[in-house]
């Protein structure tokens, strides 16, 4: 279920991203205003959520491929799921500073 939910969330992000990028041709001033809102701490949290969704979707997608194409995959799918979750958590911890560092400096100073 989480794989499907993250896939839908990523799709909607890409849809919004295409629309806001297309805005540069229609109204460069409005595009600059939209980009300015992307630099807020709230949007940084949303970006962290996007990183979480993309990482989980990618890692779980590899697990699904392994289950489908590896003869032993169905037997080991629970262990592979735990491996995905542990690797995902490790990568998300590693992504805290690169993704949320700007927001923390914005909120709390350098």
CA 99 – CA 47 distance, rounded (Å): 7
CA 84 – CA 87 distance, rounded (Å): 5
- The answer to whether 102 is a known ligand-binding residue is no
Mention every residue, 6+ apart, whose C-beta is less than 8 A from residue 80.
Answer: 63, 66, 67, 73
The torsion defined by the Cα of 64, 68, 72 and 73, in degrees rounded to 10, comes to: 10
The torsion defined by the Cα of 102, 103, 106 and 107, in degrees rounded to 10, comes to: -150
Q: Which residues are annotated as a binding site?
A: 57
Q: Which residues are annotated as a binding site for heme?
A: 57
């Amino acid at each position: 279920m989480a794989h499907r939910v993250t896939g839908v969330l990523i799709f909607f992000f890409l849809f919004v991203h295409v629309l806001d990028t297309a805005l540069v041709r229609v109204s460069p001033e409005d595009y600059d205003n939209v980009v300015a809102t992307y630099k807020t701490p709230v949007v940084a949290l949303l970006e962290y959520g996007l990183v979480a969704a993309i990482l989980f979707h990618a890692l779980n997608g590899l697990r699904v491929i392994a289950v489908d194409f590896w003869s032993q995959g169905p037997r080991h799918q629970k262990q592979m799921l735990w491996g995905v979750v542990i690797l995902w958590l490790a990568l998300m911890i590693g992504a805290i500073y690169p993704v949320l560092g700007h927001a923390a400096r914005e909120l709390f100073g350098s």
